[in-house]
Structures are given as C-alpha cells and as structure tokens.
Amino acid sequence: MSLTSYRTLASPVVATVEERRSVFECWLRRVDDEAAARAVVEEARATHGDARHHCSAFVLGPGGATTRSSDDGEPGGTAGAPMLEVLTRSGLTDVVAVVTRWFGGTLLGTGGLVRAYSDAVRAAVGQAEVLTRVRVAEVDVRVGHDVAGRLEHDLRARGVAVLGARYGEQVTLRVQVPAVGSAELPGLLAELTGGRAATVPGTGGEGWRDED
C-alpha cells in the first residue's frame, strides 16, 4: 500500500552543543533531492571555512528510501552514521543534517564523537517545527456556467482546493483532493449540484501538498 502522508520540516533549524570545548553546530533543513542536500553541505563548508569537519546525513523520499551519510574526515562511523540514526528514528524525511565541528583542543575518542554528533542532531530535531505532507490527486471537473460559481464556493467550503478554471462551452475546474478520498469526489459533486457536474476521466495526476 502506497504512503498517503509523511512528516518533514516546516522551517530550517540551527542547534549547537559543546563537548569538552569542541563546538558542534547542526544545520537541519528540508530538501527535495540529493543535489539539494549536497548543496547544503557545501554551503556549510563555505560559511564555516574555519572548521575542520562538516559531517552530514540525509533522508529523502516519502518513505525515507534514500539515505546517505558522511564522516568528512572523522574516524569511520563516529559522525555520519550516528547522525543518520537520529534522523531515521525521528520519522522525518526530505531532510538533511550537517554538523560542523570546531576542535576544542581535547581528543574526544570514538565514544565522545558519536555522542556529540548524535546530540547535535537530536537537539536540532527537538527544536524542529514539523509539518505533514499529504498525497493529493488533481482532477478536472466539468460543470455549466450557471452552476460553476456556486460549486467552486461549495467545494472550498468542504475543504477541496480549487486550483483554477477554464472557460468554454462549459467551465472546467481543476480541483485537488487527498488521494485517499478521491473516490468520494463524484458523490460529493452529485450532492452539491444535483448531478450537473462530473469529473473528466484521465485528467490530472498525483502529487504532494503541505498540510496547514
């Protein structure tokens, strides 16, 4: 069964933790694809050129199917993998975490590094405002000119998004409904118009919408 919703970031987050004078700053951002995630890493590298390490992890796709991580010069398994574990446990996707480290003069050992990188991402996730994205279907609805205005008003009142209208012999409304409830649209149209409106077969498609 395909996913009908998933959770991601509403806005960017910056969080900082300190471990024995080493400072770890986490950027947590929403991204659409792998190229965008890598661009955030490069932005952090350019912004904080005085830091030695810019470790990263990201999770992409509605089901979180794409994951990557990088230790960026830290001992293997002490940074990227722990960061990725925190992200996957959070349930967020379409998100990248970049942790920049400024060395404080004291070696932390593998355990200290794992703890610090994990804590930095955990702090950012803890501050994050989360939103839900819902799978939606876009469908064309054909209706007479005399009914179109009232139908558009009534659909909006029922929480159906009306994306636009085309005018010809009839009015064609492009509407957007949650995919999980798209089968109910013909019945709703019949209820609102007494059978004077109908969906146009084969129109539209599916996508994702941020939920308010």
Q: What is the pLDDT of residues 169-199, one digit of tens each?
A: 999 999 998 888 788 899 999 999 999 999 9
148 φ, ψ to 5°?
-60, -45
* DSSP string covering 6-29: EEEESS-EEEEEEETTEEEEEEEE
Closest by CA to 179, choosing from 1, 21, 34, 12, is: 1
d(CA 108, CA 90): 26
Radius of gyration of the chain (CA): 24
Asked if residue 61 has pLDDT above 80, the reply is yes
Q: What is the pLDDT, as a whole number, of residue 98?
A: 98
Q: What is the pLDDT, as a whole number, of residue 43?
A: 98
The reported pTM is 0.83
Show the domains of the chain with their CATH numbers: 5-128 (3.30.230.30), 134-210 (3.30.70.240)
Q: What is the pLDDT of residues 19-35, one digit of tens each?
A: 999 999 999 999 999 99
Percentage of the chain lying above the pLDDT 70 cut: 99
Q: What is the pLDDT, as a whole number, of residue 105?
A: 83
Q: What is the pLDDT of residues 86-124, one digit of tens each?
A: 999 999 999 999 999 999 888 899 999 999 999 999 999
d(CA 115, CA 108): 10
Percentage of the chain lying above the pLDDT 90 cut: 83
Asked if residue 148 has pLDDT above 90, the reply is yes
Q: How confident is the model at residue 212 (pLDDT cuts 50, 70, 90)?
A: low
Strands 197-199 and 5-9: unpaired
Closest by CA to 74, choosing from 86, 57, 92, is: 57
Q: Within 13 Å of residue 5, how many CA atoms lie on the same side as its CB?
A: 11
Query: Mean pLDDT score of the chain, rounded to an integer?
Result: 93
Asked if residue 1 has pLDDT above 60, the reply is no
d(CA 140, CA 173): 6
Asked if residue 206 has pLDDT above 80, the reply is yes
Asked if residue 204 has pLDDT above 80, the reply is no
CB neighbour list of residue 46: distance below 8 Å, 6 or more residues apart: none
